[in-house]
């Protein structure tokens, strides 16, 4: 069942871009934006990641963490993060367990992994979901959702 507004942040574990383990316990008691994207180093995904990077201080000012998730390898994430100086965590979901756990749909007849942003408040409750292949609006909509719940 896909995550819906009002649902709790699920427990999960995945590898970060540096190869260390990340668990959902790392983000307890703080707002978090978890965005799923199709692939490192593609035009839309690079635009989205760099937009999150450019607005990262705005998220930090709201007490929120930003986490990007795709099916790319740890090594791919490491290169992507370094190339674009991304200040936030990227999680490798090569086995698509996180995508399934969150219920992220595929796009274009199942050919492309979906692009969905989830916003959770400090209590771990989902307060906003934005599902759009368009990479541009995810950042502003997440900031508005976080600001509205302050």
- Active-site residue (options: 45, 89, 90, 139): 45
- Residue 82 burial (C-beta neighbours within 10 Å; 0-12, 13-18, 19+): exposed
> From the centroid of its chain, how far is CA 82?
18
Q: Rounded to whole angstroms, how far apart are CA atoms 26 and 135?
A: 26
Q: Rounded to whole angstroms, how far apart are CA atoms 88 and 7?
A: 24
Based on the residue annotation, tell me whether 45 is a catalytic residue of this protein. yes
Would you please indicate which residues are annotated as catalytic (active-site) residues?
45
């Amino acid at each position: 069942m896909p995550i819906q507004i009002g649902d709790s942040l699920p427990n999960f574990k995945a590898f970060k871009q540096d190869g260390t383990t990340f668990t959902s316990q790392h983000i307890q008691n703080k707002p978090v934006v978890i965005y799923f994207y199709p692939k490192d180093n593609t035009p839309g995904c690079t635009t989205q990641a760099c937009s999150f990077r450019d607005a990262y201080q705005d998220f930090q000012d709201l007490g929120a963490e930003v986490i990007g998730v795709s099916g790319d390898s740890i090594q791919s994430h490491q290169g992507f993060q370094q190339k674009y100086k991304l200040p936030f965590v990227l999680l490798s979901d090569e086995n698509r367990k996180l995508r399934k756990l969150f219920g992220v749909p595929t796009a274009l007849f199942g050919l492309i992994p979906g692009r969905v942003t989830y916003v959770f408040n400090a209590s771990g409750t989902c307060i906003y979901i934005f599902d759009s292949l368009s990479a541009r609006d995810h950042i502003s909509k997440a900031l508005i959702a976080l600001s509205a719940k302050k």
